[in-house]
Amino acid sequence: MMIALDEHLQPPGVLVLRGRPEAVAGWQAELAREFLPDTTVLAIADSMPGLPPPWTSRPGQSRSTAGCAGR
């Protein structure tokens, strides 16, 4: 219950990685070396259909990131 209260008072951040699978894998490997206890990292390949507009890559980009902190 304390974890739920902590996440309510200070919501965790979200980092979304988008791009070609090989590019995203490189970013994932770099982030795995960091201590990010309050951050959820989502790695999503360009080929994933049906994502909301903020999570879609713009044409011509090999990879992109988006971050969200709190509410």
Domains of the chain, by residue range, sit at 2-50+63-68
pLDDT digits (tens, 9 = 90+) for 38-62: 888 888 888 888 888 776 655 555 4
Name the burial class of residue 39, with classes exposed (0-12), middle (13-18) and buried (19+) by CB atoms within 10 angstroms of its CB.
middle
**Percent of the chain topping pLDDT 90:** 7
| 10-34 pLDDT tens trace | 888 888 888 888 888 888 889 889 9
- pLDDT above 70: residue 66: no
pLDDT at 64 over 60: no
